[in-house]
Amino acid sequence: MKIFVAGGAGYIGSACTEYLIDNGHEVTVFDSLETGHRDAVDKRAEFIEGNLADKDLVVKSMVEGKFEAIMHFAAYSLVGESMTDPGKYFRNNVASGINLLDAAVEAKVRTIVFSSTCATYGEPEIIPITESEKQCPINPYGESKLAFEKILKWYHEVYGLEYAALRYFNASGASKNFGEDHSPETHLIPIVLQVAQGKREHIMMFGDDYDTPDGTCIRDYIHILDLAQAHMLALNAPRSGHYNLGTGKGLSVKEIIDVAREVTGHPIPAQIAPRRDGDPPRLIGCADLAKKELGWKPQYENANDIIQSAWDWSQKYPNGYEN
Ligand code: UFG
């Protein structure tokens, strides 16, 4: 298929672009490079530098490219930042995203795969979380993604645009060529690995007084290549809808640090710091629906393999995309 990948220079979009091309698809990446990197765009992809806020450019690119499908990764995605600058999140993740949908309608694109998130669930009552759990986000980031899910539903009802909203749990790991390089970095695994690389003295653990067995927050870490596989399968989803993408297993902040110590052989000093605003204590996903309806078969079963892949990438590219 001919696929328009918005945000294909970012962490997950870059690995997904590579995966799609490896599997015979033709990809055009559209990215503002505000948080993405030009070197993270697979050399086999076409590239358009642009911002989704620029509706004329989005529509023109979409109409000229005659795409059959869209993948939409382009969004701000930091929970903590969204608590201090909510408008930034609603403007980009909601308002600019609507330009993409209008362009899809104008260019008669059949389907869109959207990067949603488990942050739309807020503090779930039942773990592991299924798609029918109520969605009550506790931060503007999650709220912006939930708003876009609802908008997608109406574009489906009104214009017949098919969609799959994929609710990722914690994206992690790396492919051989593409990995995680944010500036500033805020995510747990890359920061832990920066300590092992000697770039930081220690890792700060945000809160050790949560209602979890060791007091630190629990997350479900899912490999980006498993996310990429799900995106490709979602192109042929049997219906429009929502799918969780997680492993069904949770690891605490302390457990992740322990695995990273094992993988890297570095002691990785850790300190307790205050809780970070907007952090739910426990997020673990049930992905049975994606397995059943999309035929999704995640390949990365344990955190050692995920962290090993991220470690291999950071050893190969010690300065990320800077070189
Ligand atoms: N954490 C630390 N120290 C750090 C960084 C993170 O203790 O230096 C903790 C966080 O408080 C949290 C856990 O590690 O408990 C994971 O934090 P991340 O920042 O790596 O990931 P988040 O869970 O906050 O957010 C990520 C994505 C979101 C997505 C969310 C779903 O950034 O896009 O997962 O859980 F929605």
Centre of ligand 1 to C-alpha 29, Å, is 27
Whether 197 and 37 have beta carbons less than 8 Å apart is answered as no
Domain-by-domain residue ranges, the chain?
Answer: 2-171+221-244, 173-219+249-285+292-322
Spatial CA neighbour of 218 closest among 279, 134, 305, 143: 279
Mutating to test ligand 1, I would choose from 253, 259, 272 the residue with most ligand atoms within 8 A of its C-beta, which is 253
Active site residue 141: yes
Q: What are the DSSP calls for 68-107, one per residue?
A: SEEEE--S---HHHHHH-HHHHIIIIIIIHHHHHHHHHHT
Report which residue type is found at 7. Answer: G
DSSP 8-state symbol, 120:
G
Strand-strand pairing, 218-219 and 251-252: antiparallel
What is the dihedral sign for C-alpha 146, 147, 152, 157? Answer: positive
Run of H or E residues at 170: strand 170-172
- CATH architecture of structural domain 2-171+221-244: 3-Layer(aba) Sandwich (3.40)
Whether 130 and 289 have beta carbons less than 8 Å apart is answered as yes
Model confidence pTM above 0.75: yes
- CATH architecture of structural domain 173-219+249-285+292-322: Alpha-Beta Complex (3.90)
Centre of ligand 1 to C-alpha 187, Å, is 5
| pLDDT tens for each residue of the chain, 323 residues long | 999 999 999 999 999 999 999 999 999 999 999 999 999 999 999 999 999 999 999 999 999 999 999 999 999 999 889 999 999 999 999 999 999 999 999 999 999 999 999 999 999 999 999 999 999 999 999 999 999 999 999 999 999 999 999 999 999 999 999 999 999 899 999 999 999 999 999 999 999 999 999 999 999 999 999 999 999 999 999 999 999 999 999 999 999 999 999 999 999 999 999 999 878 899 999 999 999 999 999 999 899 999 999 999 999 999 999 86
Q: Whose CA is nearest to atom 16 of ligand 1?
A: 188
Residue in 11, 19, 121, 141 annotated catalytic: 141
Can you tell me which residue has the tokens 């067995």?
213
